[in-house]
């Protein structure tokens, strides 16, 4: 298996623009997680899906952030409009039991 | 979820065993101990987990004290590629919300 796939790997955008991050979980995994990592706050869980349904979005920082999982093999995290403080590495992870498998991350820079 | 305490950094000579401690003195009976590591610029990688018995896999061993208030991750023969930040996480069975602390930054020295 190729593992969790994320795209793009790097994204540079200007403040106010819409940003869409993409994730393909490991086939057969029924749970998907979006995390954000910054130097100041470390790794934070943003949202958790189980069987394509959002279960816990309490970590989503504000209404500018939204996430969808239209099917078992694809999820998106959208930021609209983006702000410089959204600059971070965003990780997607999937799981089918206890351990989570993380993707390589998307490094987002908002100028 | 119970909190964990880890030393901020450790050094280990290449080829020697790396012993990474974790304190989880408030752990509950149904909470597991998980270890992950994050090599620079990569996503976290699952290493091992356990409840109360010691565990071993191809990557590492996990030793949990009898009172379960602390544990040690052992990398038996550390290599330069084991240089990473190691996270100890305590989480109840069936739950999903990992709380990543600051971890231990392990540097393996040639």
- pLDDT given for residue A87 in this prediction: 97
B window 35-64, beta carbon within 8 A of A: 41-46, 49
Is the pLDDT at A92 greater than 90? The verdict is yes
| Rounded-to-integer distance, Cα A67 and Cα A54, Å | 8
CB contact under 8 Å between B44 and A98, yes or no, is no
- pLDDT given for residue B1 in this prediction: 52
| Rounded-to-integer distance, Cα B42 and Cα B37, Å | 10
DSSP A25: P
Return the higher-pLDDT residue of A35 and A98: A35
CB contact under 8 Å between A31 and B32, yes or no, is no
Chain B residue with the nearest C-alpha to that of A103: B43
For an interface test with B, the pick among A51, A55, A98 (most B C-beta atoms closer than 10 Å) comes out as A98
Q: What is the mean pLDDT of residues B45-71?
A: 95
Return the higher-pLDDT residue of B87 and B100: B87
d(CA B44, nearest CA chain A) in Å: 6
Q: Which two tokens stand for residue B98?
A: 């990992």
- When pLDDT is cut at 50, 70 and 90, the band that residue B41 belongs to is confident
Is the pLDDT at A1 greater than 90? The verdict is no
Q: What is the mean pLDDT of residues B55-59?
A: 96
With beta carbons under 8 A apart, name residues in chain A contacting B102.
42
CB A46 within 8 A of CB B106: no
Measure CB to CB from residue A102 to each of B41, B44, B93 and give the nearest one: B44
Measure CB to CB from residue A103 to each of B43, B101, B102 and give the nearest one: B43
The H or E element containing residue B16 is none
Is the pLDDT at B8 greater than 90? The verdict is yes
The H or E element containing residue A38 is strand A31-38
d(CA B42, nearest CA chain A) in Å: 5
CB A96 within 8 A of CB A30: yes
Return the higher-pLDDT residue of B97 and B22: B22
- pLDDT given for residue B97 in this prediction: 83
- pLDDT given for residue B3 in this prediction: 86
**Tally of residues, chain B:** 110
- pLDDT given for residue A2 in this prediction: 82
Residue partners of B48: CB distance under 8 A and separation at least 6: B34, B35, B55, B56, B57, B59, B60, B61, B62, B73
Q: What is the mean pLDDT of residues B54-71?
A: 96
Closest CA to B106 of B1, B14, B2, B5: B14
Is the pLDDT at B94 greater than 80? The verdict is no
CB contact under 8 Å between B49 and A93, yes or no, is no
Cis before A8 (ω within 30): yes
Q: What is the mean pLDDT of residues B5-25?
A: 96
Q: What is the mean pLDDT of residues B68-90?
A: 97
Q: Which two tokens stand for residue A59?
A: 């970590």
Q: What is the mean pLDDT of residues B4-21?
A: 97
Q: What is the mean pLDDT of residues A85-104?
A: 95
Measure CB to CB from residue B43 to each of A44, A99, A102 and give the nearest one: A102
């Amino acid at each position: 298996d190729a593992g969790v796939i994320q795209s793009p790997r790097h994204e540079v955008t200007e403040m106010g623009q819409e940003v869409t991050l993409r994730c393909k979980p490991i086939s057969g995994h029924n749970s998907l997680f979006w995390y954000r990592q910054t130097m100041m706050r470390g790794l934070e869980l943003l949202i958790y899906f189980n069987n394509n349904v959002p279960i816990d979005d309490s970590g989503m920082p504000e209404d500018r952030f939204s996430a969808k999982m239209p099917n078992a093999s694809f999820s998106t995290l959208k930021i609209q409009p983006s702000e410089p403080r959204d600059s971070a590495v965003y990780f997607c992870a999937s799981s089918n039991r206890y351990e989570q498998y993380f993707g390589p991350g998307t490094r987002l820079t908002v100028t | 979820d119970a909190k964990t305490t880890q030393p901020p950094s450790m050094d280990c000579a290449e080829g020697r065993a790396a012993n990474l401690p974790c304190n989880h003195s408030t752990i509950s009976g149904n909470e597991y101990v998980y270890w992950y590591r994050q090599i620079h610029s990569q996503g976290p990688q699952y290493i091992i987990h356990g409840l109360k018995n010691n565990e071993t896999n191809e990557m590492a061993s996990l030793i949990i004290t009898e009172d379960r208030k602390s544990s040690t991750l052992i990398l038996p023969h550390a290599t330069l590629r084991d240089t990473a930040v190691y996270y100890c996480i305590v989480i109840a069975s069936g739950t999903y919300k990992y709380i990543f602390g600051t971890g231990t930054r392990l540097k393996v020295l040639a």
